Amino acid sequence: MPLPVPVLSEGVDPAWLPEEAFRAVGGRRVLIRGSGPLVETVHAEAAQACARFGGSLVSDDPDVVLESTGEDGSEAFTLGHRDGRTTVTASGGRGLLYGFFHVVRLGEAAFRGERHPETHRPAVAVRMLDHWDNVAVHPVMGQVERGYAGGSLFWADGRARGDLERVRAYGRLLAACGINAVAVNNVNVHATEARLLTDRIGEVTDLAGALRPYGIRTHLSVTFAAPMVLGGLETADPLDEGVRRWWAGATARVYEAIPDFGGYVVKADSEGQPGPFAYGRSHADGANMLAAALQPHGGTVHWRAFVYDHRQDWRDRTTDRARAAYDHFVPLDGAFAPNAVLQVKHGPMDFQVREPVSPLVSAMSHTPVAVELQATQEYTGQQQHVCWLGPMWSEVLRFGAEDGLPFEELVAVSNVGDDPFWTGHPLAQANLYTFGRLAWRPDADPGAVLDEWIGLSFPDAPRRLAGGLRRVLAGSWRTYEKYTAPLGVGFMVQPGHHYGPSVDGYEYSPWGTYHFADRDGIGVDRSRATGTGYTGQYTKPWDEVYESPETCPDELLLFFHHVPYGHVLKSGSTVIQHIYDTHFEGVEEVETAREVWDSLAGLVAPARHARVAERYEEQLGSAREWRDQINSYFFRKSGVPDERGRTIH
């Protein structure tokens, strides 16, 4: 018998799967053919939808046919509509599951007119969320590192949650937007989390069992030092035979417990985490050791490329954090095992509101690459601010993709917790949904994806509500950019927690996150001619585009160049006037968005409206603080007044 569709606790938001979303399919005669666990999930979903909306499961004369012809693991499905009948066919249960949710997304449109059979398949095979969740509450990082939506979905009171119904509901949400893999613990692996690999694997097994009915494979973050921490060995040298045997045995036991286990996520030799450098070995040596342990079982190691000098001397202008990942990994291209995936942050720094696409993404032509995005809004308002990231992600995923995607997998740091609204800010749900849909099809129009999310999350929304939601979300990323760090310079945030402005917060720190503002100008010279040479890591034409201030895009100017405050942008404005203007504009745009949201009060569920309204108050206060601190800093630094005569303190 199939498991019943998970039931949410009272007060938990249904996100993009409210009951009404299933009305079109649930009100019809549905025939299901095929067998296997995921076909059973589709059967349960269809049965519940029919029970809600008056349809029925039938054996003949159907309106809808959902058919799996095998169980081959393919995620593709074919959708057609002819002679009043909608058909979804797939060669396996995974494809049928995604096909079912595609029909839910389309609603009545799936049952109108003639629709010639069209096959849908994901462009990216692995579409994963990394949860930076701690089993035990960490004294500095808390329950979820960079988590802005409450505690962990998976862990409570130092162990896996006993009631996994909401984990099952989470798997359902993820399947409905196309996500197929989850890493359930923090990449910064502490002593407690390390034991999930061995004596606490049963807890991971339980989580995997809750996610499996919706096609989600479970992955685990592990410490490179596990043979020493857990196995009592004196070394973790990846070329030591005893170490390799230990990993092979530990991995075999994981697969005995979780046969469909996805593999390991590893942060090594990064920000103090242990790694192969301690033994004079390379990242390829470390990754390949784990890949060898996983290979007999079909598993993958995701090896993070976030490796740089985090003890930099701020006086040293030659060391450039942006260069680090490329310099570390490009010499190793071709040395990684086929099941070792290099996981690369989409930008060369750290998930800033604006930075160039990392040149490492397209440089590793002989190495599997996963691009890592950040759905949790660490540097984009921490889910206190509305900041829909779809347009930014779309720009990233389209960069250099003219001849095919330069990456094989897509990963995002999760923005979900145990908050009743899943993401803390109800409108931040749009980021999670958008990630899933862009991971399935990176060339999709993000605006169309936003419309999908609105239609599913607010299925009975009148035109005024739908229009208001588009208005407050569509431009919110650029609004956030306007009132925070200008022209790609990055950071300028409070150290540690990264919320709110602190222009010089990291300027004299060891982290390598500098803006170099002085009395004459601002920005980091990363040119080949006079700077750190970072522009030379790009292929043509981008190495030439970024090399000169005259050709560099305005939005990235200060990332690549140190320029005078009077430098004239392509917009015709000077750098200093652009800083003043955009910071005033950003606050005005937040004020307008808040007014739009207030006008929708009678059209949105009261609890949801109240939560967003509360967050808008915080966003507006924070935006004003950003405006005043940034403008005052640069007025005092440059001595150049605002040409419009506005108040700058």
Q: Give me 28's structure tokens.
A: 């019809």
**Listed residue (447, 407, 469) closest to 599, CA to CA:** 469
Cβ-contact 301, 294 below 8 angstroms: yes
Q: Does 271 qualify as catalytic in the annotation?
A: yes
Report CA 382 to chain centroid distance, whole Å: 13
Q: Does 443 qualify as catalytic in the annotation?
A: no
Catalytic residue among 108, 256, 271, 598: 271
Catalytic residue among 13, 378, 581, 589: 378
Segments in 230-363 forming alpha helices (H): 241-257, 283-294, 324-329, 360-363
Q: Does 378 qualify as catalytic in the annotation?
A: yes
What is the H or E stretch that residue 593 is in?
Answer: helix 575-599
- Between CA 398 and CA 406 the distance in angstroms is 10
- Between CA 394 and CA 391 the distance in angstroms is 5
> Can you tell me whether residue 317 is helix, strand or coil?
coil
Residue with tokens 């595609």: 102
Q: Hey, what amino acid is at 428? A: A
- Between CA 200 and CA 397 the distance in angstroms is 37
Cβ-contact 74, 23 below 8 angstroms: no
- Between CA 46 and CA 386 the distance in angstroms is 34
Q: Is the peptide bond before 14 cis (omega within 30 degrees of 0)?
A: no
- Between CA 223 and CA 230 the distance in angstroms is 10
- Between CA 297 and CA 291 the distance in angstroms is 10
Catalytic residue among 13, 45, 350, 418: 350
Segments in 364-428 forming alpha helices (H): 390-398
> Would you please indicate which residues are annotated as catalytic (active-site) residues?
271, 350, 378
